[in-house]
Amino acid sequence: MDYFAHPTAVVDNGCSIGKDTKIWHFCHLMSDCIIGNSCSLGQNVMVASKVVLGNNVKVQNNVSIYSGVICEDDVFLGPSVVFTNILNPRSAIVRRDQYIVTKVCKGATIGANATIICGNTIGEYAFIGAGSVVTKDIPPYALVMGNPAIQVGWMSICGHRLVFDATNKATCPDSGQVYSLQKGMVVKE
């Protein structure tokens, strides 16, 4: 094994788990899930069949990632994040063939206790504030908060809020990377 799984973790047959991934206490990885290299799954994480996690995905404690969820590289899922995969669930009606795909793009962060309604795409490096409820697609670099989540700003790749000047330029204080606001979208220069 090129990965670590705590003795209390349950890893079903048929999982694909990348090198240097760490799976902590009481996790359950169901068959046919794909976990990339250098991921970290905190305590009590459930990863359902057909879920795809890219490389370097960090999943904090108490997150259930249901079938239909795709997380690209460098995604951060905060504690107790909630994903759905059916818009109209009923106990008495089986809808396993109707799972709706949710995509979390490269570098996005989803804060603690946020809920992500299925069928939406969270853009690259977007930042979902703690406790937010995402009901629609989120653009790349967007900072959203609330229920329902609304955009309140923009974030850099390093996770700093971008402040645009009169020329629609902003500089990340960590990296020095310059961003521009063009037609309502952020572009890295």
Q: What is the pLDDT of residues 143-189, one digit of tens each?
A: 999 999 999 999 999 999 999 999 999 999 999 999 999 999 999 99
Is 92 part of any domain? no
- pTM equals 0.97
CATH number at residue 32: 2.160.10.10
Preceding amide of 148 cis, omega within 30: yes
Cβ-in-10-Å burial (0-12, 13-18, 19+) of 88 comes to: exposed
Does an H or E element contain 189, and which? none
Nearest residue to 18 via CA among 4, 33, 38, 32: 38
Question: What's the total number of domains in the chain?
Answer: 2
Is 184 part of any domain? yes
Residues 150 and 169 in one domain: no
Look up the domain containing 26 and give its range. Answer: 4-86+97-155
Please write the tens of the pLDDT for every residue from 12-67.
Answer: 999 999 999 999 999 999 999 999 999 999 999 999 999 999 999 999 999 999 99
**Rounded CA gap, 108 and 128, in Å?**
8
**Rounded CA gap, 179 and 100, in Å?**
33
**Rounded CA gap, 18 and 176, in Å?**
32
Residues 26 and 113 in one domain: yes
Cα 133 to chain centroid distance, Å, stands at 13
Residues 79 and 168 in one domain: no
Sign of CA dihedral 151, 45, 70, 91: negative
